[in-house]
Structure formats: C-alpha cells, structure tokens
C-alpha cells in the first residue's frame, strides 16, 4: 500500500504532462510535420586541402556537416589516374577517408570523382558534381575537356556511361591500357573531364562491362574521336559559341562545393559556355560560382557517337520435326538468304523436289514440307543443314550441321480425343504398341473437316489501300496449283461486279501462298472470289470458298511529300527513311541528282525523316570499328512533317543545318537500348523536390494565411520574411511556394514549316506545285564544325 500511494502522484504528473504536450504539439507543429530536408551534405574541410600541391600522404580525409553514407563506392567513384590496386573508401560518421594502396606518381595531378556516391544518412540526398583534386608536384593541372555522347544511330544522349581521354599518339595497346582521365556522362549525356594536363588527346566513351576503363570486349559499346584535339584556354572575346548552352549546376550546389570547384578554375557542367578563368592551386577562393571571368576552356563541344555491338547475331535456335510431314527451323534473327537443306535419308526424299520451303512473314522461321509417302510416318529423317550465321563479332559465316530427326509419337489416349483436341500431325495412324501411335496427316487428322479454309491477305503497312497494295491467296499447306477458272477478280462499279483479268503467281519462298497480280486504279474497289476446290494442296483435301474486297483510296484521300536535300554528301549512296512516331521504317528512298526525294500516296498524318550515308555501299547502316573507323553518318529532320489529304507537301532539309544533339525530334518515342544502357550503368532517377509539392499543398490549404518561419523558408529555398516584406514594399508580387513560371521557349529551335500545295483531283492529273525554298529560320554550325575549331593533331 505504501508503494501504491507513493506512485500515484508520479502517475498523475506524467498524465498531466502528456495532456499539455499534446495541446502544445497541436498548436505548434504543422499538419505535415514541416518541410523536407532536400539539402545534400556540405564539405566542411579536407585534409589535404582541396587543390593542394606537393602532397605525399596516401590518405585523404573529407569532413561533412552531417552524417553520410557511401552508396556503391567501388562502382561509382572514379580515381584518375587509374590505380592498379583500388583505393579504400571508408565512412566514419561525418568523415570519409580515402586511402591509396598504390604508390603515388611524382608530379601528377590526382582526382577523385564521386559521381553521386556520397549521400546524407537519413534522406539520401546525394552530392552532384563533386571532384576532389590534389597534386604530387609543384602545380595542379587545370585544363578541361567537355563534350556530349550520342547514340550513333538514334542520336539520343547516352546517360551514365564512362567517358575519358587517351594522350596522343593513340597507344597501340589501348585494349589493355586504362584511360588517362575518366568520368561518367550525366543524365543528358554530357561529360566534363577536369584537371587535365595540357596536351593532345583522343576522347573515348564506352559501356564498360568489366570496369577495366578500356575497350577490350566486342560486346562493349564505344565511341572515339577520329581526330585528336589539343586542350587550350582562350579569352572569352575570342570565342563565339554557335549556341549558348548554359546549365549551371553550381548554382544549386552547396557553397563549399562551389568554392571547391572554383579552386580548379573548372565548371561543373559539361557543355558550358559560361566562362571560367584559369587559377592556381592556392587560389581557392578567388572566384565565386556566379562570377564571370574572361576565359573559356576548349574543347567544350566534342560529340562522341556511340557504336553499339551488333545484337542481330544469327543463331539456329532449333531444327525440329514438328510432325511427320514437316521440318521446322527457327532462327534468332530474320534471314536474308535461305538455308540449304539436303535430305540424306530416306532415299525417297533425297530429291530436291521432295520438299517445299515456306518462309514465315517475319523471316525468322522456315518450314520444309515433305512429300507424302506411306512409310514416312515410321522413318527417321537424316538431313544436312547449311545455314547462315554470324561469329562472335557479327561477321557472316556459313555453318553445316548433320542431324537425325525422329517422327513424333502420339499417346493413344490423345488419338481418341475429340477433333478439336486431337493433335494435327501427319500420315495415317498406325498402331505401334498399346500406348503410342505414329502421327496422322494434317489432311486426315479430322476426317469430318472436308473443306480446308483459304485466307485472302492484303498488306498491312504504309501501302495499305494504295495502288501498291496486294492480294494473296494463302493455304495451310503448300499449294501445288490453282484452277484459274475457279478464281475471279472483279471491279465494283456501282456495287456491280465487272470481271477483270489477273495473273496468279506462286511465291518462291512462301510456298503456301500465291500472289494475285493486277493493275489497280485509285478510288476503286476490287473483289476477289475463290470457288470451292480451286486449290490443289500437297496433302490433298478440298479447299473451301473465300471472298475479299480490296478498296483503293482515291487521290483526294491521300497526300504526298517531296523532300529537297541540301549540303549532303554525294560521293556515297544515301538512304532516306520515312518514319512513324515509333521510329518504324515505313518507306525508303534515295535522292536523285538534285537531292529530291518523293513519297507518294501517303495517308494523312504525322511523319518523320531520317537518313544515313552508306559509306561502304552495302545497303545497310554500319557502326564504327575500333579504333579508326567512324560510324556511318546519320541525320534527322528535327521536326514533324504533317501530310494532308489532297496536298503535296514540300520540305527542304539542310544536311548540317542543325547540331546533332538537337536533330532527333522529341515526338519520337524513346530508345529502348539507351534505356537498357542507362539501367546497366545504374543511374539515379531525378529526385523530386518534395518541398515544392509541400508548399503547394500548404497554399491550397491555408491560402495567404500560410506564413512559414525563416527556418522553414531556408530549408525550402524561399526568401526570408524580411526579404518578402521589402519586395512587397517595392511593389513586387510574391507568392510563397508558388512554382516558377515556365519560361517562354526561344525561337532557336523553330524549323521552317513545310509548304503544301493542293493535289490534282483528276485520275492521272499532275501535282500542281509551286516549289519554294524553305530554309530553316536559324542557321547553325554543326557539332562537327564546332569540333574543327579546336586544334587538330595528326594521329
């Protein structure tokens, strides 16, 4: 009892404090707990100091203003020059310790590029563009090399891959030697190499699969400059950029990082035209991030075109006897040439007329239909199969395989199943034992099904319902012949069929279909009628009747597109692609001697244009060959072309009228391969600014009554209460937490609108056009021309 009376006042006091605390919390805290911490860690001090010279210590200590964590440091952190034994990176609360295991090279500038590896412990805010540098000699190298990595075929920026340099002359053992300086491209494909020694270099980028910092595997994507360049620093008045590309990431960086980068005389952005002055190693606070000095580091406009390894490696996936009457070969990629099949046994199939090849529409599978024979269902088939394939580097080769293919067996229970469930396999059923049967013929698998269906096909591409459309008669077995008296083609005139002539021709590689060839007129509907028993199939049976109408659009329903190329190479073949928004190739054409390309009978809609120069005249686009052969040039018209019905659209396309980085239209869907490369490099997703969303919710909830404290304003990056009061006294309208107004887009990227002229409406009437030169409104130098501004050094 004594203890109970003694505990009662204590419990009462605790209960009262709990109530008071709840009331206090209800009055003081915001409904959502206040703004979010979006600030990355800040550097407090470094030992040795940033930009130090004559360093002998193998240990670097970097202290931050909060607890940190290191995310995949062994993958993200890049040490330049590369180390034979990787340095160790350890985190101890607010301190990061880097210990070099190798001996330090004399008179050398060392850099540590952290590449978003450093994050705060609680919120995961990572530091952008933090590079620490020191020198073992009397001076710190301060030159820079900046550029952009684009996919050579799609011209899309390639994010988060390795970019670096080799000193000239290009070493013969680059396959084994790591790069001199390295970094990763950012999310837009830009890169900047800082603290580079003045000299001549080649730039290279690659998807480094084995983290060797060198191109040493044929399955690695790579890009390399064909000409060397020399680093230089010029006065801003002597440098006139073709376009100002200013994405100053330092404005959003912590102050300590700003001074750290400024101590190197380096900009954190990769393609900045913002000027930066050369500084000495001791000038660590001479320049603020927002100041402008009269110097520019060159080159700052390199464009590296990434060649991806050939993924279309042709492999034979399987060669099977799918039933007793047919063999099926399946490949990983579409075939350009047919394989050669030789049947070695049984002897009654050794003749080349004993089988019929049938290539699938996607050209990835091939069926060999075997001539019927009474004993085929019981015999194995021995074949020699010679087929095209490719070696490990994508070069075409031929391969010969010999194999024995057994006739398939069917369980007796399945043979007694209903016709819908019964397997359709070839040759009459013959019992071999109580459990299994040899396969039955497709024609005899369902005796009740006397009529074999016919399918009449037409095109399903850009030529659909145009005079280039076609009709095909398709059967489920090889067609030996068609009775032309049982096939009729008619033209519908006022819904009345009027017979017209046509020709029936077998397809040499698709033996299960025949082409119905006839002349087509715009604005006309045709009807194909196939009567019963018109087709003679390889395995017998009676074909069912079929009918299909084909409507050809009139000239008033379609349009055309004429493209005039200017400034394009004329010493090699050039191919122009007409693309859909999914970058599907709808049509291909070559320009005439005047650079004119015409696409006719186009359905109204939006189209895109792309071209490539076929330097080796092999009829296909080829990437680069390491190290000296560049990829074949690719260009995009940087705008959508809208084709209207009844109009002839004219478009002028300057080959180098727009920089490569700006050519690919934004309306085209993303490149899956670039996304895969990005995932392989494990880039971080752009982090949302949660405070913007928080401020918007507070404004919606409280309106103008919402007035955050100065501490909350500092966290959110908003002006203080005093700054807000002074701004209002000056008559400036300020809405706390309002999202920034979207800036008006400049006119730089505007392209000239294509000229359209009405089409003639009469059948066979010419297009009424008034050709007008439609040069782009803004003329810019190409990225290649920009690169020529830097000094070239022969290989």
Q: String of b and e for 419-440 (b: at least 16 CB within 10 Å)?
A: eeeeebbbbebeeeeeeebbbb
Q: Distance (Å, rounded) from C-alpha 193 to C-alpha 145?
A: 5
- Cis preceding-peptide flag for 759 (omega within 30 of 0): no
Where the chain has pLDDT below 70, the residues are 1-33, 236-293, 311, 392-394, 409-450, 670-688, 733-795
**Among 212, 101, 130, residue whose Cα is nearest residue 164:** 212
pLDDT at residue number 53: 96
What is the CA angle 549-550-551, rounded to 5?
A: 120
Asked if 462 contacts 586 with a C-beta cutoff of 8 angstroms, the reply is: yes
Q: Quick one: which H or E segment has residue 7?
A: helix 2-28
- For position 220, what pLDDT does the model report? 87
Phi, psi dihedrals of residue 342, rounded to the nearest 5°: -125, 120
Residue 721 backbone phi and psi in degrees, to 5: -60, -40
Decide if 187 contacts 149 (C-beta within 8 A): no
Measured distance CA(315)–CA(364) in Å, rounded? 10
- H helix count then E strand count, the chain: 9, 50
| CB proximity list for 625: less than 8 A, separation 6 or greater | none
Dist CA 632 CA 651 (whole Å):
24
Residue carrying structure tokens 């390894």: 309
Candidates 684, 688, 784, 689; CA nearest to 186 is: 684
Using CA atoms, how far residue 202 sits from 152, 794, 795, in Å, is: 18, 11, 9
Q: What is the pLDDT of residue 79?
A: 94
- The rounded distance, in Å, linking the Cα atoms of 660 and 613 is 15
CA–CA gap between residue 32 and residue 43 (Å, rounded): 30
pLDDT reported for residue 686: 52
The residues pairing with 305 across neighbouring beta strands, listed in sequence order, are 150
**Count of C-beta atoms within a 10 Å radius of residue 494:** 5
3-state SS class at 497:
strand
242, with CB counted inside 10 A (0-12, 13-18, 19+), is middle
Residue 307 carries which DSSP code? B
For 440, the token pair is: 């039955």
The length of the chain is 795
Alpha helices of 46-150 — where are they, by DSSP H? 73-76
The predicted model scores a pTM of 0.73
Torsion of CA 73, 79, 85, 86, to 10 degrees: 0
Dist CA 306 CA 631 (whole Å): 8
Report which DSSP code applies to 445: S
Domains and CATH numbers, the chain: 43-135 (2.60.40.1220), 143-306 (2.60.40.1120), 316-438 (2.60.40.1220), 470-551 (2.60.40.3710)
Instruction: Quote the DSSP letter at residue 238.
Output: G
Q: Which residue has the tokens 């130098």?
A: 781
With residue 4 as reference, give the H or E element that holds it. helix 2-28
Chain centroid offset of residue 580 CA: 16
pLDDT of residue 757: 52
Q: DSSP 3-state helix, strand, coil percentages of the chain (rounded to 5)?
A: 15, 35, 55
Q: Which two tokens stand for residue 272?
A: 């900045």
CA 1 centroid distance within chain:
79
Distant-in-sequence, close-in-space partners of 498: CB < 8 Å, separation ≥ 6: 490, 491, 492
Identify which of 201, 213, 210, 211 has the alpha carbon closest to the alpha carbon of residue 163.
213
The end-to-end CA distance of the chain, in Å, is: 98
Coil vs helix vs strand at 491: strand
Residue 359 to residues 159, 330, 337, 469, 637: CA-CA distances in angstroms?
40, 10, 11, 21, 36
């Amino acid at each position: 009892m004594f203890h109970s009376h003694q505990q009662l006042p204590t419990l009462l006091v605790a209960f009262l404090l709990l109530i008071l605390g709840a009331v206090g919390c209800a009055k003081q805290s915001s409904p959502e707990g206040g703004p979010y911490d979006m600030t990355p860690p800040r550097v407090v001090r470094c030992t040795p100091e940033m930009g130090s010279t004559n360093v002998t210590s193998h240990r670097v200590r970097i202290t931050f203003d909060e607890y940190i964590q290191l995310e995949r440091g062994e993958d993200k952190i890049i040490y330049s020059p590369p180390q034979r034994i990787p340095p160790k990176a350890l985190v101890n609360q607010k301190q990061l310790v880097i210990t070099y295991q190798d001996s330090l090279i004399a008179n050398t500038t060392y850099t540590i590029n952290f590449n978003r590896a450093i994050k705060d412990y609680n919120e995961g805010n990572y530091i952008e563009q933090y590079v620490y540098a020191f020198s073992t000699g009397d001076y710190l190298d301060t030159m820079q090399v900046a550029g952009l990595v684009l996919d050579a075929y799609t011209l899309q920026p390639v994010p988060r891959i390795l970019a670096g340099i080799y000193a000239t002359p290009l070493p013969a053992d680059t396959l084994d030697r790591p790069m001199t300086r390295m970094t990763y491209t950012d999310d837009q494909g830009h890169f900047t190499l800082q603290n580079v020694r003045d000299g001549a270099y080649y730039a290279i980028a690659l998807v480094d699969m084995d983290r060797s910092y060198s191109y040493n595997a044929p399955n690695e994507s790579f890009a390399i400059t064909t000409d060397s360049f020399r680093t230089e620093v010029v006065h801003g008045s002597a440098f006139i950029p073709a376009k100002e590309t200013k994405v100053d990431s330092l404005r959003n960086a912590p102050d300590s990082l700003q001074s750290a980068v400024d101590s190197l005389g380096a900009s954190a952005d990769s393609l900045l035209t913002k000027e930066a002055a050369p500084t000495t190693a001791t000038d660590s606070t001479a320049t603020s991030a927002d100041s402008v000095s009269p110097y520019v580091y060159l080159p700052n406009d390199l464009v590296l075109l990434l060649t991806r390894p050939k993924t279309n490696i042709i492999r034979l996936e399987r060669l099977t006897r799918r039933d007793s009457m047919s063999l099926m070969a399946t490949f990983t990629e579409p075939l350009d040439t047919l394989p050669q099949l030789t049947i070695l046994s049984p002897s009654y199939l050794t003749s080349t007329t004993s089988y019929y090849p049938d290539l699938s529409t996607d050209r990835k599978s091939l069926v060999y239909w075997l001539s019927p024979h009474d004993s085929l269902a019981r015999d194995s088939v021995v074949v020699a199969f010679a087929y095209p394939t490719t070696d490990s580097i994508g070069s075409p080769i031929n391969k010969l395989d010999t194999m024995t293919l057994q006739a398939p067996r069917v369980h007796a229970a399945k043979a007694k199943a209903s016709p819908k469930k019964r397997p359709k396999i070839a040759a009459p059923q013959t019992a071999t034992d109580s459990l299994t049967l040899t396969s039955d013929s497709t024609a005899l698998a369902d005796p009740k099904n006397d009529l074999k269906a016919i399918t009449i096909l037409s095109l399903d591409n850009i030529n659909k319902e145009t005079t280039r459309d076609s009709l095909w008669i398709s059967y489920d077995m090889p067609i030996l012949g068609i009775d032309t008296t049982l096939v009729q083609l008619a033209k519908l005139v006022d819904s009345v069929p009027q017979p017209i002539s046509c020709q029936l021709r077998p397809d040499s590689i698709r033996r299960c279909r025949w082409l119905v060839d006839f002349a087509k007129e715009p604005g006309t509907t045709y009807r194909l009628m196939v009567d019963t028993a018109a087709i003679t199939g390889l395995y017998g049976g009676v074909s069912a009747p079929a009918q299909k109408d084909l409507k050809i659009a009139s000239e008033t329903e379609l349009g055309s597109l004429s493209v005039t190329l200017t400034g394009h190479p004329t010493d090699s073949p050039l191919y122009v692609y007409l693309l859909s928004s999914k970058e599907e190739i709808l049509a291909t054409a070559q320009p005439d001697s005047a650079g004119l390309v015409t696409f006719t009978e186009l359905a109204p809609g939006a189209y895109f244009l792309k071209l490539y120069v076929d330097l080796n005249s092999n009829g296909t686009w080829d990437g680069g060959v390491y190290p000296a052969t560049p990829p074949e040039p690719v260009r995009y018209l940087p705008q959508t072309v809208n084709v209207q019905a009844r109009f002839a659209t004219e478009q002028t396309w300057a080959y180098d009228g727009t920089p490569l980085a700006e050519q690919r239209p934004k309306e085209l869907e993303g490149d899956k391969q670039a996304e895969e490369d990005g995932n392989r490099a494990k880039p971080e997703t752009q982090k949302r600014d949660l405070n913007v969303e928080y401020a918007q919710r507070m404004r919606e909830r409280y309106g103008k009554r919402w007035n955050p404290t100065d501490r909350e304003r500092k966290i959110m990056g908003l002006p203080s209460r005093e700054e807000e009061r002074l701004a209002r006294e000056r008559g400036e309208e300020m809405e706390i937490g309002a999202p920034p107004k979207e800036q008006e887009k400049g006119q730089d990227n505007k392209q000239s609108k294509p000229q359209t002229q009405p089409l003639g409406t009469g059948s066979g009437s010419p297009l009424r056009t008034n050709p007008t030169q439609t040069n782009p409104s803004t003329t810019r130098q190409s990225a290649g021309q920009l690169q020529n501004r830097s000094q070239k050094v022969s290989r």
